[in-house]
């Protein structure tokens, strides 16, 4: 096997998952290069890119592999962050990690990897690929860490060009292998927060880009309870941050965001975790992205309407315009427009689409 065919570039994030991904590829006798992406330039104490790069350098040094650094911050802002802000401004709740995987990690970054002389790009995602006559995306072996939900929108033609070397491992096994190999990130906490941006006070961060647009907080019957800061700053099912408090004539108990009335700029709230306004039995997606040949007839599948949700039984009806209608066996709580409905059969990810609307 020549060097070019065996060279694999690993996205080294500075975390334990990508470190062990690189380790496993070395153990398989590949020529491994590391690649660190720094795609958010704010130095405000929340973005951890500087420390993550130092951790990636330390891992590369222990493994004896070269480390490249690349900056796709402009592409990230144009292709991911601009959409993120537009969705919030429209009152929806986007998931930028899905778009980041499609546009950055397995989009422009994969193109850069090819310029480095490699034909495949590996990451530390907890997911699995099965490549035969057709490449298939499957859930990771660790059900608590599976990231196939975030990967469902990458190009079907891209699957044979990528690798998830730790997808068959449990997280505890990943850390154990890192510790045994002397990798300095074996006990580093998992990263959280928005892809590349990090964990931070979210409302304050969003207010840097979206102005307050106050309006009434109302019950479903139209009773005014307070004032919200702007529909962009709330999500369906949200409990905290409403600043309502106890109200005469109402039972004690938490209030939940149930609807956003964009025409009236009104936030509709209800009491009760499973209030009927928080429940829906069906949804309509935007254009579906399929990782299988696009189906034309209704079929049974399992679905997630948010990350970490247990699989839900559903009837999927593909529509002529490329969208799909999903009808669930059981009521779904706080299904949120802007998030993704992702479909599965067994462990195989079939694809998904953005949630547009819901119905009872």
Q: Which of 15, 18, 11 is nearest to 35 (CA)?
A: 11
CB 290 within 8 A of CB 283: no
CB 337 within 8 A of CB 315: no
Write out the two tokens for 169: 């491992």
CB 19 within 8 A of CB 190: no
| Residues annotated as part of the active site | 100, 195
- Measured between alpha carbons, how far is 30 from 231 in angstroms, rounded to an integer? 50
Q: Which of 320, 280, 326 is nearest to 301 (CA)?
A: 326
Sequence-ordered list of residues with C-beta below 8 angstroms from that of 129, at least 6 positions apart, any chain: 135, 136, 137, 138, 159, 162, 163, 164, 167
Which value, in Å, is the radius of gyration of the alpha carbons in the chain? 22
CB 80 within 8 A of CB 101: no
Write out the two tokens for 324: 């799909």
Count other C-beta atoms under 10 Å from residue 49's C-beta: 22
Q: Which helix (H) or strand (E) holds 225?
A: strand 224-228
CB 66 within 8 A of CB 3: no
């Amino acid at each position: 096997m020549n060097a070019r065919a065996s060279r694999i570039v690993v996205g080294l994030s500075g975390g334990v998952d990508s470190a062990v991904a690189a380790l496993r590829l070395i153990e398989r006798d590949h020529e491994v290069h590391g690649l660190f992406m720094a795609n958010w330039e704010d130095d405000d104490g929340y973005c951890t890119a500087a420390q993550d790069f130092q951790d990636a350098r330390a891992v590369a040094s222990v493994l004896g592999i070269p480390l490249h650094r690349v900056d796709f911050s402009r592409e990230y802002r144009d292709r991911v962050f601009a959409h993120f802000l537009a969705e919030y401004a429209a009152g929806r709740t986007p998931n930028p990690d899905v778009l980041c995987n499609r546009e950055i990690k397995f989009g422009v970054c994969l193109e850069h990897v090819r310029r480095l002389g490699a034909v495949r790009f590996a990451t530390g995602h907890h997911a699995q690929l099965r490549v035969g006559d057709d490449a298939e995306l499957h859930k990771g072996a660790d059900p608590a860490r599976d990231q196939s939900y975030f990967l469902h929108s990458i190009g079907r033609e891209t699957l044979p060009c990528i690798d998830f070397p730790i997808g068959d491992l449990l997280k505890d096994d990943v850390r154990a292998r890192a510790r045994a190999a002397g990798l300095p990130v074996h006990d580093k906490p998992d990263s959280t927060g928005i892809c590349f941006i990090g964990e931070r006070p979210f409302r304050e961060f969003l207010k840097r880009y979206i102005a307050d647009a106050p309006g009434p907080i109302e019950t479903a019957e139209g009773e005014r309870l307070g004032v919200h800061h702007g529909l962009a700053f709330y999500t369906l099912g949200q409990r905290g941050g409403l600043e309502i408090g106890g109200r005469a004539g109402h039972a004690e108990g938490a209030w939940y965001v149930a609807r956003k009335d964009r025409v009236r700029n009104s936030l509709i709230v209800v009491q009760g975790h499973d209030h009927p306004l928080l429940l829906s039995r069906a949804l309509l997606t935007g254009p579906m992205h399929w990782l299988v040949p696009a189906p034309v007839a209704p079929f049974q599948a399992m679905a997630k309407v948010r990350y970490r949700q247990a699989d839900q039984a559903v009837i999927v009806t593909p529509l002529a315009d490329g969208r799909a209608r999903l009808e669930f066996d059981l009521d779904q709580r706080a299904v949120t427009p802007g998030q993704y409905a992702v479909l599965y059969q067994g462990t195989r990810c079939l694809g998904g689409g953005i949630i547009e609307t819901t119905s009872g």
